[in-house]
Homo-oligomer: A and B are copies of this chain.
Amino acid sequence: MTGHETSEPDLGVLAARVLFSVQRELFTALAEQGFDDIQPRAGAVLAYLRADGIRASELARASGQHKQVIGSLIDDLERLGYVERRPDPADRRAKLICPTERGLLQMEAATSIMRAIEERHANALGKREYAAFKTALHHVADLQRQAD
């Protein structure tokens, strides 16, 4: 990843800027809406939660984090009242991580904040251009995943 002097910043540098900046804005806005007890790192769980529950190991796979990290994030979020562990009826080894009512509210708030952020970009670039950008970003993300 190279953002050296003369040349344009590369794909990695730009992705990093976008990620960290979006993350900062999102969690600042969440805090202002009362969700002030969660941090960006909890995003590995929160971003992939589903109303009907998801397994911890699925969260680990989706987020690319180790099982232990996910486990301790779930510990925290459970203590804070965002999620609860329920036995998975389909597999007695597994537990379903389900959002509580507060967790559902957080998910809705996050979705709405992200929608506003993306709308801002769509207005700045043009809706058509932003849609094309988003599609391309999706493709790049998919292609990259295959490559490494």
User: Which A residues have a C-beta under 8 Å from some C-beta of B?
Assistant: 1-5, 7-26, 28, 43, 46-51, 62, 64, 107, 110-111, 114, 117-118, 120-121, 124-125, 129-130, 132-134, 136-141, 143-145, 147-148
Contacts and interface: CB of A to CB of B under 8 A. Distances in A.
Contacts of A134: 8, 11, 14
A3 B11 CA distance: 21
20 contacts: A1-B22, A1-B23, A5-B50, A8-B134, A11-B18, A11-B114, A11-B117, A11-B118, A12-B47, A14-B137, A15-B18, A15-B22, A21-B141, A21-B144, A21-B148, A24-B148, A117-B147, A120-B143, A121-B139, A121-B140
A73 B3 CA distance: 17
B11 A107 contact: no
Contact of A11 (B12, B22, B46, B124): B22
Contacts of A14: 134, 137-138, 141
Contacts of A16: 15, 19
A132 B139 CA distance: 14
Contact of A12 (B8, B19, B107): B19
